[in-house]
Amino acid sequence: MKRRKAIKSIGLSITAGLWLPSALSSCKKDDPGPEVPFDGTVAIIGGGAAGLYTADILSAKGINVIVFEAGSQLGGRVRSLRNQREILVQTSADFPVELGAEIVYGTNSAWGNIIKNYTFTRIELNTQATEQFILENQAKPATEWGADSDFQIVQNFMQGLPGYSGGDVSMSVASGVSSRAQALLNSLAGNRFGSSSDRVGAKGVAEALNLVEHDNLAYMIKTNPLQDIVTSRFSGVLGKVKLNTAIKSIAYSGDKIVLTDQDSNQVEVEKVVVTVPLGVLKTGGIAFSPGLPAAKVTAMNKIGMDHALRLIIDFKKNFWGEGTGYLWGGTEGPAYFNTGVARSEFYRTLSVTVHGPKAQQLSAMGDGMLDAVLAELDAIYNGQATLYVRKTLTNDAEGNIIEGDRVWFKADWGKDEFFKGGISYLPPGSSVQDRIDFSAPINNKVFFAGEATDNRGDAGTVNGALNSAERVAEEVVQSIIGA
Ligand SMILES: Cc1cc2nc3c(=O)[nH]c(=O)nc-3n(C[C@H](O)[C@H](O)[C@H](O)COP(=O)(O)OP(=O)(O)OC[C@H]3O[C@@H](n4cnc5c(N)ncnc54)[C@H](O)[C@@H]3O)c2cc1C
């Protein structure tokens, strides 16, 4: 990013017409102009799915955009291990290992529609993988739990969620599940939605489930990292992106909006779309001047965004079952996923997703989190996790092969200053209306997008991020043509 003066001159070249008049002078009277004539620049903060799609739509309409991304790569919470060049950990996986989003929901959803345009092989979870459920340190598929009453109560509660009509309480309270099955409930009704089952509200999830209009087929892509799909789909705007540029303040009281980055460089723009994760806004990662309206702050604070962790652990042997997909019901690892299922013969890599207080607890343990997770797997699989966890191999001075560190990797989303958490969720006492109130534009100048602002039932997913981009792009266009 250039110093303020330099950037201002870029702004002037657009607004005062250093190139625009000459471009116009070569136009004939009936040449089609841009769909939305606008001399200004729209800045987009954040280069995840929401930010890139917003830039793509606005750009396609002829609006000048610039995307500021704090990190060194694009995709945000769509991030694939293969693209992390600085990571030395080499898993044995010959398939994409995801550090954030890994499952695609829907074939006719916003994300599903993008994926449909490429010829990818899908791995469908409900037909190509078997779920296992853990109760009392035993992992078994649903068919084998059969009539177990605790298992049935959890299953029935989950299946009945769209029709939930009980109180505005947490999943734990709403379900009435016994202590024996609390961890299983936590996996399916808490962790799955971004926190623990005593924090996620039953009403908010039910409301969202009823808003979803797309089918809910859950699948992976066999060979392509999801991050590559995002950057490929939005390649048209990559030239508009400034990486390694964290916007620290947005001053919007004047005619122009002044954005200041981490190095105190400044740029002036006419409109700004904020797509950073809710956790960043809630922790004051961006200072607004004037401060955000009270109604927006209230709404923002009603929506939850807790710590999240993804662990990738490599083993020498698959001891959890070749056809196993998700393994639900762990306490240390509420969602174990056999990420190579139906993708490869090297299905010896487990991906562990942890949201909420447990993620914070594991994060505080540092590398000790691996021991905690392996101990839980050992208890379920008779010590096989510690026995078979893969270790790096090196030669000593005599040429003997010696085992080194365990091969694993952690993505600590909650600790990362540009995310400050995993995904947004609705605690008891909040509703989708809070997402709508949070997303309200300020003075037709400052706009909000990102998964937490989704109002179509897809918050917390890539679909939610993309939906929000469609909404915010329309708001920006209306603010221009309706002005
Ligand atoms: C562990 C985990 C598992 C998930 N699993 C799934 C899944 O299986 N399926 C699914 O559909 N979804 C899943 N999700 C959710 C999905 O990844 C997100 O909902 C989606 O990617 C969010 O996109 P976004 O554009 O709203 O935000 P982000 O992708 O977070 O993009 C925001 C961007 O803003 C940048 N930023 C932050 N602060 C600043 C600043 N000050 N200045 C400039 N830039 C800044 C960040 O670096 C980031 O790139 C998962 C998320 C996590 C964390």
Tell me the pLDDT tens digit for each residue of 331-366: 999 999 999 998 887 789 999 999 999 999 999 999
Q: How many domains does the chain have?
A: 2
Comparing 87 with 430, which gets the higher pLDDT? 430
pLDDT at 387 over 70: yes
Task: Tell me if 85 is assigned to some domain.
Answer: no
pLDDT band at 116; cut points 50, 70, 90: very high
Same domain? For 26 and 145 the reply is: no
Q: Ligand 1 centre from 293 Cα, in Å? A: 24
pLDDT tens digits, one per residue of 150-171: 999 999 999 999 999 999 999 9
Q: Check whether 328 has a pLDDT greater than 70.
A: yes
Residue 85 has pLDDT above 80, yes or no: no
Is residue 79 one of the residues assigned to a domain? no
User: What is the C-alpha separation between 7 and 2, in angstroms, rounded?
Assistant: 6
Mutation test residue for ligand 1: of 52, 77, 216, 351, the one with most atoms within 8 Å of CB: 77
Q: Which residue, of 356, 382, 412, is where some domain finishes? A: 412
Report the percent of the chain where pLDDT is more than 90: 84
pLDDT at position 430 over 50: yes
Buried b (16+ CB within 10 A) or exposed e, 366-380: eeebbeebbebbbbb
Task: Say yes or no: 388 and 340 in one domain.
Answer: yes
Burial (Cβ within 10 Å: 0-12, 13-18, ≥19) of residue 31: exposed
Q: What rounded mean pLDDT belongs to the chain?
A: 91
Q: Confidence band (pLDDT; 50, 70, 90) for 26? A: very low
Centre of ligand 1 from the C-alpha of residue 397, in Å: 46
Mean local confidence (pLDDT), 452-461: 98
Is 326 in the same domain as 408? yes
Count CA atoms within 13 Å of residue 431 on its CB side: 6
Residues 106 and 185 in one domain: yes
Which residue range forms the structural domain that includes residue 38? 4-74+234-304+425-481
**391, 412, 433 — which closes off a domain?**
412
Both 193 and 325 in one domain: the answer is yes
Residues 27, 167, single domain; the answer is no
Q: How far is the CA of 183 from the centre of ligand 1 (A)?
A: 26
Q: Looking at the structure, tell me whether residues 381 and 430 fall in a common domain.
A: no
Residue 203 · residue 209 · CB < 8 Å: no
CATH number at residue 28: 3.50.50.60
Same domain for 360 and 468, yes or no, is no
Same domain, 219 and 247: no
The tokens of 483 are what? 């002005």
Q: What is the mean pLDDT of the segment spanning 255-268?
A: 98
**35 — pLDDT class (breaks 50, 70, 90):** confident
Is the CB of 376 inside a 6 Å radius of any atom of ligand 1? no
Same domain, 196 and 340: yes
Residues 99 and 192 in one domain: yes
Assess contact for 458 and 449: CB atoms under 8 A. Answer: no
